[in-house]
Amino acid sequence: MGQLAQAVNDFNKAIEIDAKQALVWNSRGLAKADLGESASAIEDFTEMIRLNPGSAVAYNNRGFVHRDMGNLDSAIRDLDKAIELDDALVNAYYNRTLANILLGRDDEAQEDADKAVELGYDPDALVAAINGLRN
């Protein structure tokens, strides 16, 4: 069993012990996303949001999985909410940049990219991600 699959098993055990630990749901969701289990990851992030509706990180994480699944409108909604909750969450601007590019909203993407860089996101990494989407 790989490390990510083992991590999911460990998170399952933690949830059996105490299902109200929002961060465990988030961590399991991230592991599932890395395993390509996107729909299940969305469910975990949704549960984290139910337990902690003020978590910008949970909205960001659910948003990037929606983006990766091609659910771009859902991605934008979640990323908008993440930024509403924490306007300094650099990854939300990064993820919304990519979602906006996929939607053909270049002006919005540029605004988000500028904000991500202003908040400390590596401009070279951002350009590489954007170029990866466009190629």
Distance of CA 109 to the CA centre of its chain: 16
| Residue boundaries of the structural domains of the chain | 1-134
Task: Using the CB atoms, write b or e for 98-116: b if 16+ within 10 Å.
Answer: bbbbbeebeebbeebbebb
Q: Which residues of 36-56 are buried (b: 16+ CB within 10 A; e: fewer)?
A: ebbeebbbbbebbbebbeebb
The DSSP letter of residue 133 is: H
Select from 133, 131, 120, 55 the least CA-distant residue to 93.
Answer: 120
- The mean of the pLDDT values for the chain is 95
Q: Which of 108, 37, 46 is nearest to 68 (CA)?
A: 37
Residue-wise pLDDT for 59-116, tens only, equals: 999 999 999 999 999 999 999 999 999 999 999 999 999 999 999 999 999 999 999 9
Which class in CATH covers the domain with range 1-134?
mainly alpha
Label residue 1 by pLDDT band (50, 70, 90): low
What is the distance between the alpha carbons of residues 25 and 70, in angstroms, rounded to a whole number?
A: 23
DSSP 86: -
> What per-residue confidence (pLDDT) applies to 23?
86
- Given a cut of 90, whether residue 129 has pLDDT beyond it is yes
Q: Decide: 60 and 82 in contact? Cβ < 8 Å.
A: yes
